[in-house]
């Protein structure tokens, strides 16, 4: 058992070193190119919407490593490229990919490695010291704030938060911002109509109703049971 445990630890350490080395190598060799990266050119130079869609998904995956890529710009580009429902679905798929990758980076690198990166900010230090018993509500609340997307995912992964709870809460929490940016993107290429505003209100209202139902039937009973103990 001891030897097996040692082999697992060695493989985990090797994986951590590989991921860290890969990240630093990419930044070192491609930093000049990345600084002048024009996301709009990548998306709109595509010959058709399918390639533009694939480009946006690729950029979401790349953002799991290159944190400086501006998420709001991706949301707006999706709103410009597609209809509101399709843009919303595309962004949710992209965020699922990004959140998943960054979560597993945090899980593999471990809390010590992530802490060295994030403790440069007192805000992230408080996050690391936060009681993660209610990780569902924590992830949801953090997505409503302007805290860096990748930082939240790294910390939740390193802390051992349950993956599907983290994903569900993250996507639910970020919906309001998505809808606003999609509407902005849509308004850039299309005139705002009553139907556009109505669709925006319906989607936002549906989100609010789902949050209220989940809070009453899932989050609150959990908290109540903990208090009764």
Taking only the tens place, the pLDDT of each residue in 174-221 is 988 888 888 888 888 877 778 778 888 888 888 888 777 766 655 444
**pTM score:** 0.69
Domain definitions of the chain by residue range: 37-224
Which DSSP string do the residues of 24-74 spell out, in sequence order?
HHHHHHHHHHHHT--HHHHHHTSSSHHHHHHHHHHHHHHHTT-TTS-HHHH
pLDDT tens per residue across span 79-119: 888 888 889 999 999 999 999 999 988 888 777 766 666 66
Tallying the residues shown for the chain, one arrives at 229
Judge contact between 124 and 155, C-beta under 8 A: yes
Those residues whose C-beta lies under 8 Å from the C-beta of residue 171, and which sit 6 or more positions away, are 92, 95, 96, 99, 143
């Amino acid at each position: 058992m001891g030897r097996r445990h040692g082999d697992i630890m060695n493989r985990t350490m090797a994986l951590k070193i590989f991921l860290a080395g890969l990240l630093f190598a990419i930044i070192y060799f491609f930093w000049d190119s990345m600084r002048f990266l024009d996301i709009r050119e990548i998306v709109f130079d595509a010959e058709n919407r399918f390639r533009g869609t694939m480009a946006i998904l690729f950029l979401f995956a790349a953002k799991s490593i290159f944190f400086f890529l501006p998420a709001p710009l991706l949301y707006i580009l999706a709103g410009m490229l597609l209809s509101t429902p399709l843009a919303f679905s595309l962004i949710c798929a992209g965020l699922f990919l990004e959140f998943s990758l960054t979560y597993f980076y945090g899980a593999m690198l471990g809390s010590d490695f992530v802490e060295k990166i994030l403790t440069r900010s007192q805000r992230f230090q408080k996050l690391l010291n936060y009681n993660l018993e209610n990780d569902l509500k924590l992830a949801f609340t953090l997505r409503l704030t302007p805290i860096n997307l990748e930082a939240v995912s790294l910390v939740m992964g390193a802390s051992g938060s349950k993956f599907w709870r983290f994903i569900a809460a993250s996507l639910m929490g970020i919906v309001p911002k998505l809808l606003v940016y999609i509407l902005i993107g849509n308004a850039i290429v299309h005139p705002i109509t009553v139907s556009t505003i109505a669709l925006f209100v319906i989607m936002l209202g549906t989100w609010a109703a789902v949050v209220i139902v989940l809070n009453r039937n899932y989050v609150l009973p959990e908290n109540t049971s903990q208090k009764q103990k």
